[in-house]
Amino acid sequence: MPAVLSSSTTTPRVLVTGANGYIGMWVIRTLLEDGYAEGAFDEAVKNVVAIEHTASPLSATTDDPNELINPAVNGTLGVLKSTLKFGTNVKRVVITSSCAAIARDIAHSPDKPTHIFTERDWADQSVDIVRKDGRKAPFMAKYRASKCLAEKAAWKFVEDHKAEIAWDLVTLQPPFVLGPPLQEVTSPASLNTSLAMLYDSLFREKSDEVLKANYSYAHVRDVALAHVKALQVAEAAGERFITSAGGTTWQETRHVVHTINPSLYTSGVLPRGNSTLEFKLVSLYDGSKSRKILGLEYATLEDILTDVLSDFEARGWTKCKD
């Protein structure tokens, strides 16, 4: 399938779902900066050349796993069904999945090497846990199951209807997405989930067990660009892409922040944690495929945290508490 390119003579419309969300707003901003036009929602999937499906729930008000799974699966299938029926001009659909659709628990021990996840992996383990334990399953197992089942449903839909559709599918698997928010944020409590976890990990005292925990990261600007590149690069058709810059621990995150602005610690704004903890990665997501095919160059953790701290500072959240 040809790439979906903007140009100076045409103004192709791109439908973005979840546009009021953290990633969705950055995707829209990046699309507009690259020459795509507003107004895609006027006729929904009609008259659009591509669809960026970024909407999916993260929080649940009950312990029912279906509160996460059903909206994720049905929302994804709803977009694809509408595209099948009415998206006569659509060339490509890009779905924001997650590294959660890939992740599985790894049995760690000091003598085991780091486990590297790739686009070949799926979070089937979490699906099995949720099917077995239901409401008693851990929240993250429910979330991973929702992302895994939603993405698998998308690929199955495309396979089942391959004789009828004239568009192709690309899915993106971002890890923790960090960077300044574009949506309205009035306090730390109104941050999106990944930024809220970063804020909490920096500003609150944490146990050594939490500080040693691993996470993978990417700048929200890079993830937004990945969505645009996924439209523009012909070779992206039919592929999954992990959009991860690297991995670290929460204590190492504090070390990086300390190098950026040590006064945040000497002034007592941020707790130092345990600087003697060993920095050890036990799991990591391989983002090399997105670098090679989409041509992404990811921001470093220091660059990401510099941008986030600047945003927090502008909001008055890094002032010393008397």
Taking phi over 0 as left and psi of -120 to 50 as alpha, with beta for the rest, 246 belongs to left
In a domain, 2, yes or no: no
Alpha-carbon distance 218 to 304, whole Å? Answer: 8
DSSP H or E run through 265: helix 263-266
Per-residue model confidence as pLDDT tens digits over 171-209: 999 999 999 998 888 899 989 889 999 999 999 999 999
Looking at the domain assignment, is residue 110 inside a domain?
yes
Per-residue 3-state assignment (H helix, E strand, C coil) for 11-53: CCEEEEECCCCHHHHHHHHHHHHCCCECCHHHHCCCCCCEEEE
CB distance 47 to 15 below 8 Å: no
Write out pLDDT tens, residues 209-254: 999 999 999 999 999 999 999 999 999 999 999 999 999 999 999 9
Q: Would you state the pLDDT for residue 251?
A: 95
Average pLDDT of the segment spanning 18-25: 64
Any idea which residue has 């592929």 for tokens?
A: 239
Contact 29, 2 (CB under 8 A): no
SS3 96: strand
Residue 253 corresponds to which tokens in the numbers above? 């995150």
pLDDT tens for 128-158 read 999 999 999 999 899 999 999 999 999 999 9
Six token digits for residue 60: 């649940």
pLDDT score, position 24: 67
- pTM of the predicted model as reported, rounded to 2 decimal places: 0.87
Say what the pLDDT of residue 60 is.
62
Q: What is the CATH number of the domain that holds 131?
A: 3.40.50.720
Residue 322 lies in a domain: no
* C-beta separation of 54 from 17 below 8 A: yes
Cβ 248 vs Cβ 284: under 8 Å: no
Range of the domain at 178: 14-313
Nearest to 283 by CA among 249, 317, 256: 249
The answer to whether residue 320 is domain-embedded is no
Q: Is the pLDDT of residue 108 over 60?
A: no
- For the chain, how many structural domains are there in total? 1
Q: Is residue 7 part of a domain?
A: no
Q: For residue 321, is it within any domain?
A: no
Asked whether residue 91 is domain-assigned, the answer is yes
Cα(85)–Cα(138) distance, integer angstroms? 38
Which comes out higher in pLDDT, residue 22 or 317?
317
Is residue 1 situated within a structural domain? no
Q: What value does the mean pLDDT take over residues 16-43? A: 62
